[in-house]
C-alpha cells in the first residue's frame, strides 16, 4: 500500500468520508457483490462434480454522482482490477427436487483511488463469498437455481484509508437465477439478488438493503458462439444508518453493453462483456470489462 503523505492522506480521507456520508449510497458507495459479474448460463449448472471458475474484471470510474444523478464537482478517479477464482461443487444430492451445490469465491484485488489529487493504492485478498443453493433442470432449455450467499469480511480494512479492499461487515444475499439456453436461437439469463448488510463495527455505519440483478440476452449464431448484450440493474431499497439513525442516501444504477460467449460443447466456456453505467445516483459512475471462464479438470 502506498500513500503520498500523511497530511494529504488525512485530507483525502476527510473528503472521502464526507462523500460517503452525504452523497454516497451504502458505505463508501460500493457493495459486497460486484455488479454485473454474471453473464450467460447464470442459472444453468453442470453435472455433479467439482468445477474451477475464474472471473476477471477491470472497472474504472471518474465521476461520483449525487442523489439527482449529477456529477459532483470533485476530481475523482477509481481503478480496480480483480481476479476472482471460484470453486463450485455440484453434488449428487437432491433436496426439494433440486440438486444441491456449494461454492466459494475469494477475490484478489488491485485498487487505486484518487480524490482531488490525493491518492492511495492497495492490493490483496478481498471478502470471501460462500454459496449454498439448489439447481433445477426443467427441460433441455430451461434451468433455474435458488439459494443464498454469505459475504465474510476477510479483506483488509482501515476506516482511515481511501483504498479499502474489504468492507468490514457481514452480508447475506438471497438469490434466484434462471437461464434459457438454445445454441441455435434465443439465450436469456437473469440473476435476481436481495442483500441485507450488517453494521460495520469500526464506523457504526450500516448500509441499506439492496435489490439488484444481472442479465444477459443473446442469440446463438453457431453451435459454439452466442452474441448479445448484458449488464445489471441496481436499486437500494432502504436508507443507510449511522448509529441507528436513518440518513437516506439511496443509490441506483443501470448498466448495459455487448456480450459474447464461446462454448466448446466439451465443458469449457468463455464469456466476455463490456458494460457502461447509466442513471447512477449516489454512487460512482463508470464502466467495466468482464471475463468469465470455466476450465474442466
What three-state secondary structure class fits 15?
helix
C-alpha grid cell for residue 219? 442469440
Quick: pLDDT tens for 29-66: 889 999 999 999 999 999 999 999 999 999 999 999 99
Percent helix, percent strand, percent coil in the chain, to nearest 5: 5, 60, 35
Q: What is the spatial distance between Cα 139 and Cα 137, in angstroms, rounded to a whole number?
A: 6
Q: What is the DSSP string of 179-192?
A: EE--TTSEEEEEEE
In 5-63, where does DSSP find H-type helix? Answer: 6-22
**Separation of alpha carbons 172 and 258, rounded Å:** 30
Q: Are 250 and 221 in contact (CB under 8 A)?
A: no
CA–CA distance, 171 with 197 (Å, rounded to integer): 4
Residue 221 C-alpha from the chain's centroid? 28
| In the predicted structure, residue 108 carries a pLDDT above the cut 80 | yes
Q: Taking the C-alpha atoms of 242, 243, 244 and 245 in order, what is their torsion angle to the nearest 10 degrees?
A: -50
pLDDT at 24: 58
Per DSSP, the residues of 67-80 read TTSPBPSS-EEEEE
**Cell, residue 158:** 482501515
- First vs last C-alpha separation in the chain: 36
pTM over 0.95: no
Residue 12 reports pLDDT greater than 50 = no
- Tens of pLDDT, residue by residue over 90-103, are 999 999 999 999 99
The rounded distance, in Å, linking the Cα atoms of 236 and 252 is 6
Up-side HSE of residue 113: CA atoms within 13 Å toward CB?
Answer: 22
- pLDDT mean across residues, the chain: 91
- The size of the chain, in residues, is 297
* pLDDT above 70 (res 2): no
Amino acid at each position: 500500500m502506498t500513500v503520498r503523505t500523511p497530511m494529504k492522506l488525512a485530507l483525502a480521507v476527510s473528503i472521502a468520508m464526507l462523500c460517503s456520508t452525504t452523497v454516497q449510497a451504502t458505505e463508501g458507495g460500493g457493495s459486497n457483490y460486484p455488479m454485473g459479474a454474471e453473464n450467460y448460463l447464470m442459472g444453468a449448472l453442470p453435472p455433479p462434480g467439482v468445477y474451477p471458475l475464474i472471473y476477471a474484471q477491470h472497472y474504472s470510474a471518474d465521476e461520483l454522482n449525487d442523489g439527482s444523478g449529477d456529477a459532483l464537482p470533485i476530481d475523482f478517479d477509481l481503478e480496480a482490477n480483480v481476479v476472482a477464482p471460484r470453486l463450485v461443487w455440484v453434488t449428487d444430492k437432491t433436496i426439494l427436487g433440486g440438486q444441491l451445490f456449494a461454492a466459494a469465491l475469494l477475490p484478489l484485488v488491485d485498487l487505486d483511488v484518487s480524490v482531488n489529487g490525493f491518492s492511495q493504492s492497495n492490493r490483496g485478498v478481498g471478502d470471501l463469498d460462500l454459496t449454498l443453493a439448489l439447481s433445477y433442470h426443467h427441460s433441455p432449455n430451461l434451468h433455474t437455481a435458488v439459494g443464498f450467499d454469505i459475504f465474510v469480511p476477510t479483506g483488509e480494512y482501515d476506516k482511515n484509508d481511501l483504498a479499502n479492499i474489504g468492507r468490514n461487515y457481514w452480508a447475506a444475499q438471497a438469490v434466484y437465477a434462471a437461464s434459457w439456453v438454445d445454441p441455435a436461437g434465443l439465450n436469456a439469463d437473469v440473476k435476481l439478488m436481495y442483500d441485507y448488510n450488517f453494521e460495520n463495527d469500526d464506523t457504526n455505519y450500516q448500509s441499506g438493503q439492496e435489490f439488484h440483478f444481472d442479465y444477459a440476452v443473446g442469440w446463438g449464431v453457431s453451435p459454439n458462439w452466442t452474441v448479445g448484450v448484458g449488464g445489471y440493474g441496481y436499486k437500494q431499497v432502504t436508507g443507510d444508518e449511522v448509529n441507528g439513525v436513518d440518513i437516506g442516501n439511496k443509490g441506483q444504477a443501470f448498466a448495459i453493453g455487448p456480450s459474447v460467449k464461446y462454448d466448446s460443447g466439451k465443458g469449457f466456456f468463455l464469456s466476455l462483456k463490456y458494460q457502461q453505467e447509466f442513471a447512477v445516483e449516489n454512487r460512482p459512475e463508470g464502466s467495466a470489462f468482464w471475463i468469465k471462464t470455466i476450465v474442466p479438470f
